[in-house]
Amino acid sequence: MKLSRKITYKNKQPIMKDFYRTSAGRRFFEQDVPALVEALQKISTQLERSNELAEKKRRVDEKLKKLQIRNAGEKE
């Protein structure tokens, strides 16, 4: 027996066709999707900030290494 991947009504119409018309569908599109977008924006902002800080740290570490090399050369 082969099972269909589509869940259908008795009249063989896909359930998801009218999802937006249901109370769950309205809640999903009016509340859940905007909340997900906001959460993704926050993640993006924090990731950008993290990358900026990591880049600043890399530059500071690079300058520190150059100073250490210069100081080691002066001591010799």
Sign, Cα dihedral of 53, 56, 60, 61: positive
Residue 10 in this model has a pLDDT that exceeds 90: no
Q: How far apart are CA 35 and CA 37, in angstroms?
A: 5
pLDDT 10s digits, 12-67: 555 677 888 889 999 999 999 999 999 999 999 999 999 999 999 999 999 999 99
pTM over 0.75: no
pLDDT score of 73: 82
DSSP structural state of residue 2: P
